[in-house]
Amino acid sequence: MPAQALKSFLETNGVDYSVIPHARAYTAHEIAHEAHVSGDDFAKTVIVRVNGELAMAVLRASDRLDLDLMSRAAGGSEVELASEEEFRAQFSDCEIGAMPPFGNLYDMAVYVDEALAEDPAIAFNAGTHTELFHVGYADFERLVAPRVARLCRRHTD
């Protein structure tokens, strides 16, 4: 979804947001660095297949998705990382790797790691590799209605 369409969606739903332009970057860590956003506040979107259906796992840039935990969150379903070829057409309006975590706009289930859900606000890709949006987590949750679960192992595990 191009940034303008995402802006319209947020505005239509009464969401306060800010736009954070940054130098072109591709990895979650590079994006957080270029945008001067903490890796704990940047929400990266990982596309997975849950029982063959595409879904989004949304987690902090500083975390790594654990497929076993993701499977538990999905009720014991088979979970695998999806390849770019599998989801490229679904996000024809986004640069690959810059998909916003609004699965509801792409007819996809959304799972959010519990640590990210504790943050008062999140930043995320807005369909390009040069712009982030920053919104309150409560607004994100209201619009997306994600399933919140533990998706990542912590350093203390």
CATH topology of domain 3-149: YbaK protein (3.90.960)
Read off the pTM: 0.92
Contact by Cβ (8 Å): 94, 127: yes
- Which of 76, 84, 78, 75 shows the shortest CA–CA distance to 53? 78
Residue type, 114: E
The pLDDT score that the predictor gives to residue 5 is 79
Q: Which helix (H) or strand (E) holds 9?
A: helix 3-12
Q: Could you give the CA distance from residue 112 to residue 151 in angstroms, rounded to a whole number?
A: 7
User: How far lies 150's CA from each of 40, 48, 63, 94, in Å?
Assistant: 15, 16, 11, 27
The pLDDT score that the predictor gives to residue 23 is 85
Q: Could you give the CA distance from residue 29 to residue 125 in angstroms, rounded to a whole number?
A: 12
The pLDDT score that the predictor gives to residue 1 is 46
The pLDDT score that the predictor gives to residue 156 is 56
Tokens of 134: 């920053």
The pLDDT score that the predictor gives to residue 155 is 59
Phi and psi for 101 in degrees, rounded to 5? -80, 35
Mean pLDDT by groups of 10 residues along the chain of 157 residues: 77 94 85 80 93 95 94 93 92 89 93 95 90 94 96 74
Q: Could you give the CA distance from residue 62 to residue 82 in angstroms, rounded to a whole number?
A: 20
